[in-house]
Amino acid sequence: MGLLTGAELWSVAIFFAIFLLLVDLMHRRHRWTARYPPGPMSLPVLGNLLQVDFQNMPAGFQKLRCRFGDLFSLQLAFESVVVLNGLTALREALVRHSEDTADRPLLHTNDHVGFGPRSQGKCRKRQTWQEKRQQKQTATGWTEDPTVVIKTNVVIKWDRSRKEDEALRPKCGLPGVLQAQYGSAWRQQRRFSVSTFRHFGLGKKSLEQWVTEEARCLCAAFTNYNGRPFSPNTLLDKAVCNVIASLLYACRFEYDDPRFIRLLSLLRDTIDEESGFLAMFLNVFPVLLNIPGLPDKVFSGKKAFMALQDELLTEHKMTRDPTQPPRDLIDAFLAEVEKAKGKPESSFNDENLRMVVADLFMAGMVTTSITLSWALLLMILHPDVQSHVQKEIDEVIGQARCPEMADQAHMPYTNAVIHEVQRFGDILPLGAPHKTSRDIELQGFLIPKGTTLITNLSSVLKDETVWEKPLHFHPEHSWMPRAAL
Ligand code: HEM
């Protein structure tokens, strides 16, 4: 085949540009409905990508809120996004319409870095879906639908009118917890996580005992510095990671264990990779993920993190005795996998276990560790608050025993300080994105199914109409002195 000449190249370029514009128009057609939230003018294909300040999104959103109100829309390439601001709008979306907004946007990158079927060869879930489909064809005499083509386990065309098949259709990747698409797997995994966390309980030690022991180790590591200055961040990471490990693996690592140090470093790399601009860009233009070698290069930390989790999971399975009560969340999950044998629609399977474990490490580690760093910093900056907290600790717990959860009820000031640390720290200003699973009406606007929702939590935590001193650390915001209760 010869090379394209100048005129032919032009025709291909014009064809490609028209094709892109048509795809773009298709994605943004609902912006033309009268009750879609307003937003800034957007460019073809790129949408508002060039107008969003990715370095400081909450500040940029505050400016747009002043211009367009509590609900405004953005077009991020082909992704339609509505940003929710203020307590009323967020409560309406996440509480009143909790089920309709519980979906999550698909992360295309997952399919390429160890979570999705592509990276795992034959994905059990997809295989069983095909088996199920075949079973259905055999049972009902229903013949192959020409609008559905399956090629190497990937559905490349789907007829949306076949509603009865929607339930059988696997979603992209595996559910996990944090990124699970709204549906039966979402419900199963939430129910499982909440009940397992609540009844901990599991194994020989309760979660409270694990936390108390870890706090003792952390204090000992602090004491080793003999009053010399040090940054507590790495030690806080280690302590929090150990509490999550105790929940998942019923074990704790020594702080100088090389495998533990590697686990933490890979976890940090994974979070940096996932929250970086490149990951966002690749999720907006997933076609680029097909460039050979690119996903491996961009997500090398995440791949190594998953490989280490696989190693730990294999070791853990070898020491499990199914006749004994579960030692931890992984044992409880494996028991569910056994119960789910012969139920192909279940999300309890080995592939999803590694996803759940990774989700819990990623969702819990940095969030808790950064919050604790904020707490220490704020205690240093506000010695008056620190001495008030210390006084309450001395009165209620004393110096002779460890704290217990039951003490919380008798420590209103410390409780208020913890709430204020979380409000002021505002460590996840935009929360985690949601997606509408059907058309909904919010604050008089119509938001179509499939729209990504960004929850501007910062707009509530720093709201001038709610807090007396929104930009200051002020425990009195949530402190009710005993006399006032
Ligand atoms: C101070 C510490 C933490 C903060 C500030 C925090 C904050 C958040 C936020 C803002 C969300 C998004 C909620 C939404 O969907 O709108 C979230 C979700 C989640 N967090 Fe945390 N988190 C913390 C600790 C943890 C820990 C310790 C774990 C578990 C080990 C955890 C597991 C999860 C999970 C599984 C989700 C997804 C829940 C869902 O999709 O319904 N988080 N967290």
Distance 404 CA to ligand 1 centre (A): 23
Question: By alpha-carbon position, which residue is closest to atom 33 of ligand 1?
Answer: 363
Q: Which atom of ligand 1 is nearest to the CA of 179?
A: 40
CA torsion sign for 47, 48, 50, 53 is negative
User: 479: part of which helix (H) or strand (E)?
Assistant: none
Distance 141 CA to ligand 1 centre (A): 46
In 173-232, where does DSSP find H-type helix? 184-198, 207-223
Number of neighbouring beta carbons within 10 Å of residue 55? 8
**Ligand 1 contact via 371 beta carbon (within 6 Å):** yes
First to last CA, the chain: 83
Could you write out the three-class secondary structure of 225-246? CCCCCCCCHHHHHHHHHHHHHH
Cβ–Cβ < 8 Å for 393, 414: yes
In 319-349, where does DSSP find H-type helix? 329-339
Q: Which atom of ligand 1 is nearest to the CA of 177?
A: 35
Angle between helices 329-339 and 300-318 (to 10 degrees): 80
- Specify the length of the chain in residues: 485
Residue 205: what pLDDT? 65
Cα(300)–Cα(4) distance, integer angstroms:
37
Could you tell me the CA-to-CA distances from 9 to 14, 16, 144, 411 in Å, in that order? 9, 10, 40, 73
**What parts of the chain have a pLDDT lower than 50?**
117-173, 482-485
For residue 250, what are the contacts with CB-CB under 8 A and spacing of at least 6?
Answer: 202, 203, 205, 327, 328, 331
For residue 60, what are the contacts with CB-CB under 8 A and spacing of at least 6?
Answer: 52, 53
Could you tell me the CA-to-CA distances from 450 to 52, 184, 456 in Å, in that order? 21, 18, 19
Residue 287: what pLDDT? 83
**Ligand 1 contact via 370 beta carbon (within 6 Å):** no
For residue 281, what are the contacts with CB-CB under 8 A and spacing of at least 6?
Answer: 288
* Residue 210 C-alpha from the chain's centroid: 25
Q: In the numeric block, which tokens belong to residue 321?
A: 């005795």
Q: In the numeric block, which tokens belong to residue 92?
A: 């309406």
Question: By alpha-carbon position, which residue is closest to atom 43 of ligand 1?
Answer: 363
Number of neighbouring beta carbons within 10 Å of residue 286? 16
Distance 356 CA to ligand 1 centre (A): 13
With b for 16 or more beta-carbon neighbours within 10 A and e for fewer, the 324-343 pattern comes to eebbbbbbbbbebeeeeeee
Number of Cα atoms under 13 Å in the Cβ half of residue 479: 18
Residue 102: what pLDDT? 93
Q: In the numeric block, which tokens belong to residue 248?
A: 């998942």
Residue with tokens 């002020």: 474
**Ligand 1 contact via 185 beta carbon (within 6 Å):** no
Residue 1: what pLDDT? 54
Beta bridge partners of 269: none
For residue 157, what are the contacts with CB-CB under 8 A and spacing of at least 6?
Answer: 147, 148, 149
Q: What letter would DSSP give residue 151?
A: E
Beta bridge partners of 80: 75
Determine the residue of 178, 367, 452 to mutate for testing ligand 1's pocket, defined as the one with the most ligand atoms within 8 A of the Cβ atom.
367
Distance 364 CA to ligand 1 centre (A): 7
Cβ–Cβ < 8 Å for 74, 47: yes
Cα(79)–Cα(301) distance, integer angstroms:
27
Cα(461)–Cα(470) distance, integer angstroms:
7
Distance 411 CA to ligand 1 centre (A): 24
Q: In the numeric block, which tokens belong to residue 350?
A: 């080995």
For the range 152-158, what are the long-range contacts, defined as Cβ-Cβ under 8 Å and sequence gap of 24 or more?
Answer: 153/117, 153/122, 153/123, 153/126, 153/127, 154/117, 154/118
Residue 155: what pLDDT? 29
**Ligand 1 contact via 177 beta carbon (within 6 Å):** yes
Cα(409)–Cα(411) distance, integer angstroms:
6
Cα(111)–Cα(122) distance, integer angstroms:
13
Cα(26)–Cα(336) distance, integer angstroms:
42
Residue with tokens 């929360």: 431
Q: Residues 435-451: pLDDT tens digits?
A: 999 999 999 999 999 99
Residue with tokens 């010869």: 2
Cα(80)–Cα(452) distance, integer angstroms:
6
Question: By alpha-carbon position, which residue is closest to atom 2 of ligand 1?
Answer: 368
Cα(451)–Cα(233) distance, integer angstroms:
37
List the one residue out of 329, 98, 101, 312 whose CA is nearest residue 193.
329
**Ligand 1 contact via 460 beta carbon (within 6 Å):** no
Determine the residue of 83, 236, 368, 458 to mutate for testing ligand 1's pocket, defined as the one with the most ligand atoms within 8 A of the Cβ atom.
368
CA angle in degrees (0–180, nearest 5) for 347-348-349: 100
CA torsion sign for 320, 322, 323, 327 is positive
Cα(209)–Cα(216) distance, integer angstroms:
11
**Ligand 1 contact via 368 beta carbon (within 6 Å):** yes
Distance 9 CA to ligand 1 centre (A): 50
Determine the residue of 83, 428, 454 to mutate for testing ligand 1's pocket, defined as the one with the most ligand atoms within 8 A of the Cβ atom.
428
Question: By alpha-carbon position, which residue is closest to atom 5 of ligand 1?
Answer: 367
Cα(6)–Cα(353) distance, integer angstroms:
54
